[in-house]
């Protein structure tokens, strides 16, 4: 089918070129005196027009414009008006040549369209007939998989002598029981007895801390916070518990209570103290970064305390720290 369409389009192009040559010759002959060339010209024009009509019936089946609408229509022949001067033979020839040229233009355009459509059909047929191409493209570093190597059984390991059993670890020494004198000293700390039981528990913890009985103070203050977490002295109790650990040489445990007291209520009675003592604990732990962060937060959040009641401890803690 594709070859038939291509052959047909080629023949149409050759016919169009022949018609153009014939039309040019007809025009040249028409330029001569009308009386000498009239008969010959009319005969040749009749032949050209009949061939154009034949070719048009092949290009446009039906011959009535049903399948293809002409792009350029022939110039209609003017109807002579009664009383107007009749046209000359040369004028008639030129009119007929205009119509032939219009038909040739239409045929040429249609032939070009058919040629383009045939080329597209041939390209689609060639693409459909081509074998599918895999989209897989191996990477630049891809190498073929190596052939499986022969596996040689590994030699059996040489028996190793059993390691000697570790020596039994001595049990950690049990904490030394408080001496009788310490027990008597702790008993000497009188626990308050008032109408406010929560206040009495806190006050007893404070008295133990003040007497430097730090482990006993820690135990008492934890008991107070467990029983009365919402008491008015809770901020004092958490801060004092951190102080009891710090004064007992345990800055790591102290820092936990200082941070908890600050985060629980930043407007608590001893929140500012806890934040500053948190910096002290970090300094003792040689954690300069966290110590400087705590000092910066303290000076910004509690500027009045930093310049007043806690100014001495604040300046002492800053000494020796290279805070930016």
184-195 pLDDT tens trace: 899 999 999 999
3-state per-residue secondary structure call for 189-217:
CCCCCCCCHHHHHHHHHHHHHHCCCHHHH
Is 164 among the domain residues? no
When comparing pLDDT for 172 and 291, which is higher? 291
Residue 121 has what pLDDT?
78
Residue 201 has what pLDDT?
96
Q: Average pLDDT of 193-208?
A: 95
Residue 103 pLDDT level (bands cut at 50, 70, 90): confident
When comparing pLDDT for 173 and 106, which is higher? 106
115 and 232 both lie in a single domain: no
Residue 97 has what pLDDT?
76
Is 142 among the domain residues? no
Residues 6+ apart with CB under 8 A from 225: 234, 237, 238, 241
Write the CA distances from 18 to 27, 52, 219, integer angstroms: 14, 10, 121
6 and 113 both lie in a single domain: yes
Distance CA 266, CA 278 (A): 14
Q: Average pLDDT of 203-227?
A: 96
Counting the structural domains of the chain, the total is 2
Distance CA 235, CA 224 (A): 12
Q: Do 205 and 237 meet the contact criterion of CB atoms below 8 Å apart?
A: yes
User: Which single residue is written with the structure tokens 């020796």?
Assistant: 320
Is 146 among the domain residues? no
Range of the domain at 206: 188-318
* Inter-axis angle of helices 197-210 and 234-247, nearest 10: 20
3-state helix, strand, coil in the chain (%, to 5): 60, 0, 40
Evaluated on CA atoms 198, 200, 201, 203, the torsion sign reads: positive
Is 292 among the domain residues? yes
200 and 118 both lie in a single domain: no
Identify the DSSP state of 65: S
Token pair in block for residue 161: 């002598």
Residue 220 pLDDT level (bands cut at 50, 70, 90): very high
Is 181 among the domain residues? no
Residue 106 has what pLDDT?
79
Distance CA 282, CA 289 (A): 8
Is 33 among the domain residues? yes
Residue 217 has what pLDDT?
96
Q: Do 202 and 218 meet the contact criterion of CB atoms below 8 Å apart?
A: no
32 and 114 both lie in a single domain: yes
Q: Average pLDDT of 4-24?
A: 55
- 215-227 in b/e form (b: 16+ CB < 10 A) is ebbbebbeebbee
CATH of the domain at 301: 1.25.40.10
Is 183 among the domain residues? no
146-181 pLDDT tens trace: 444 444 544 444 444 455 555 555 555 555 666 788
Write the CA distances from 110 to 21, 116, 280, integer angstroms: 19, 10, 98
Is 95 among the domain residues? yes
16: left (phi over 0), alpha (psi -120 to 50) or beta: alpha
119 and 192 both lie in a single domain: no
Q: Average pLDDT of 278-290?
A: 95
Does residue 39 carry a pLDDT above 70? no
Does residue 40 carry a pLDDT above 50? yes
Winning range, highest mean pLDDT, from 37-51, 93-107, 141-155, 305-319: 305-319
């Amino acid at each position: 089918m594709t070859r038939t369409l291509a052959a047909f389009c080629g023949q149409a192009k050759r016919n169009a070129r022949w018609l153009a040559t014939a039309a040019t010759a007809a025009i040249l002959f028409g330029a001569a005196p009308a009386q000498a060339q009239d008969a010959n010209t009319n005969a040749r024009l009749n032949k050209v027009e009949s061939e154009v009509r034949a070719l048009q019936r092949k290009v446009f089946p039906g011959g009535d414009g049903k399948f293809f609408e002409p792009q350029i229509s022939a110039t209609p022949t003017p109807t002579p008006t009664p009383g107007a001067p009749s046209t000359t033979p040369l004028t008639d020839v030129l009119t007929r040549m205009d119509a032939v040229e219009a038909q040739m233009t239409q045929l040429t355009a249609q032939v070009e369209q058919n040629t383009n459509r045939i080329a597209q059909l041939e390209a689609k047929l060639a693409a459909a007939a081509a074998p599918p191409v895999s989209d897989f493209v191996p990477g630049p570093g891809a190498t073929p998989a190596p052939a499986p190597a022969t596996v040689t059984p590994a030699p059996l390991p040489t028996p190793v002598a059993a390691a000697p059993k570790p020596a039994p670890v001595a049990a950690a020494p049990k904490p030394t029981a408080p001496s009788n004198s310490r027990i008597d000293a702790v008993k000497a700390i009188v626990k308050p007895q008032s109408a406010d039981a929560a206040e009495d528990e806190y006050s007893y913890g404070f008295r133990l801390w003040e007497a430097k009985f730090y482990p006993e103070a820690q135990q008492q203050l934890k008991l107070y916070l467990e029983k009365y977490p919402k008491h008015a002295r809770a901020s004092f109790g958490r801060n004092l518990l951190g102080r009891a650990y710090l004064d007992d040489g345990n800055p790591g445990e102290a820092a936990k209570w200082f941070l908890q007291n600050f985060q629980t209520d930043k407007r608590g009675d001893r929140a500012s103290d806890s934040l500053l003592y948190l910096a002290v604990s970090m300094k003792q732990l040689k954690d300069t970064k966290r110590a400087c962060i705590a000092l910066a937060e303290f000076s910004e959040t509690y500027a009045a305390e930093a310049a007043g009641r806690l100014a001495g401890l604040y300046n002492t803690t800053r000494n020796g720290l290279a805070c930016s």
